[in-house]
Amino acid sequence: MSDTTSTYRSLNGIECGKALRAQIARRAQEVLKERGTVPHLVAVLVGEDAASQTYVGSKVKACEEVGFRSTLLRRPADTTEAELLEVVAELNADAAVDGFIVQLPLPKHIDEERVTLAINPTKDVDGFHPQNLGRMMLGLPGYLPATPNGIVELLKFYDIPTEGRHCVVVGRSNIVGTPMSILMSRNTYPGNCTVTITHSRTKDLPSITRQADILIVAIGKAGFITADMVKQGAVVVDVGIHRVEDASRKSGYRLSGDVNFDEVAPKCAWITPVPGGVGPMTVTSLLLNTLKAAQT
Ligand code: GUN
C-alpha cells in the first residue's frame, strides 16, 4: 500500500487576504468617521528595479481597494543617501502620514541599515526597525514584519494547529526567517511550536526538513525544496517567488517558489500556491499595520 496521498489543501492567500481586507475596509471607514481622514500609507521607491516596481504597485493598489490613501514617492537610482534620509525625515515629521515604507533593496551606494534606523518606529509599518523587532522578541505591542505576520494570519485563517508542532524555518534573513522563527515559538496561537531555524551552513538539511510538521521556506532559490525533503502530511509555506524560463508559456516564463510544488504538494496536508499564497498576505499585513498606525 502506498503511503502517499494526492489530496492537499491550498493555503490560499488570495481568499484569506480578501476576507481580511473586507474587515480592514470597514475599519478604515470607522477611522474616517472618528478623525476625518482615512489611513495614509506612503511608499518610497528608489530606482527602477523591476520586481520592486511590481511589489510597490501591488501595495498602492491594495490601499485603493480598502479605501486607504496612498502616495508613491519615486526617486531616481542616483539619489544620494543624504537625500533619501531627508525624505525619511520629512515623512517622520508629516502628521498627514500614518506609516511609510522604503522599498528594499536600495541601490548599492545607500546603506539600508542607516535608512531603516532613521524611520520613526511609530511609522515603521514594515516592522523592520530594531525597536519593533525588539518589541516582537519581548511580546510587546508594535509593528510585526509584514511577511512573517502574513504567514501567521494565513495559518490562523485556516485553523492550522501549531501547538507542540515542530516548525522548521529554512532561511535566516532579518525580514523573514529570523522573525518567523520567533513568532512560531511565542506562547500564543499560532505559535507554541518547537522551532528549528536552518540556513546555508546547516548540515544534512533534508534530514531536518523531513522532521517538520510545519515547513516555512524563505531561502531565495527556485524549486529548492524537493519531495524527498518533506514529511508526509506536512504543512508547507513557500515564501519564494522567482521567474523561471518556460518555453511552453506565451510569456516565456512561469512563476516558481522555493518549493518544487508539483512534486511536493501531493505529500502535503496544506501548501501555499505560488503565486497566490504568501505574496498577497504580505501586502494584507502591511495594510493591517497601516490601520494600526492610524488608530494609535
Ligand atoms: N523588499 C522585499 N520585501 C519587502 C518588504 O516587505 N518591505 C520593503 N520595504 N521592501 C521589501
- Whether 103 is catalytic is yes
Does residue 22 lie in a domain region? no
CB 257 within 8 A of CB 176: no
- Which residue among 98, 103, 267, 292 is the active-site one? 103
Shared-domain flag, residues 108 and 207: no
Q: Kindly state whether residues 165 and 116 are assigned to the same domain.
A: no
Number of compact structural domains in the chain: 2
**Phi, psi angle pair for 213, to nearest 5°:** -80, -35
* Alpha-helical segments (H) within 38-139: 50-65, 81-93, 112-118, 130-138
**How far, in Å, is the centroid of ligand 1 from the Cα of 40?**
18
Distance 211 CA to ligand 1 centre (A): 30
Query: Per the domain annotation, does 292 fall within a domain?
Result: no
Q: Which amino acid is at 252?
A: G
59 assigned to some structural domain: yes
CATH number for the domain spanning 232: value is 3.40.50.720
Structural domain boundaries, residue 233? 147-278
30-87: per-residue pLDDT in tens?
999 999 999 999 999 999 999 999 999 999 999 999 999 999 999 999 999 999 999 9
Identify whether 256 is part of a domain: yes
Residue 82, domain CATH: 3.40.50.10860
Taking only the tens place, the pLDDT of each residue in 238-272 is 999 999 999 999 999 999 999 999 999 999 999 99
Cell numbers placing 276:
497566490
Q: What is the pLDDT of residue 1?
A: 45
6, pLDDT greater than 80: no
The string of DSSP letters for 93-107 reads: H-TT-SEEEE-SSPP
- The answer to whether position 136 is within a domain reads no
pLDDT more than 70, % of the chain: 98
* List of residues 6+ apart from 51 with CB closer than 8 A: none
Rounded to an integer, what distance in angstroms lies between the CA atom of residue 27 and that of residue 287?
11
Q: Which is the closest atom of ligand 1 to the Cα of 52?
A: 1
Quote the pTM value. Answer: 0.94
Check: CB of residue 257 under 8 Å from CB of residue 238: yes
Residues 159 and 61 in one domain: no
Q: Is residue 266 part of a domain?
A: yes
Mean pLDDT of all residues in 9-28: 98
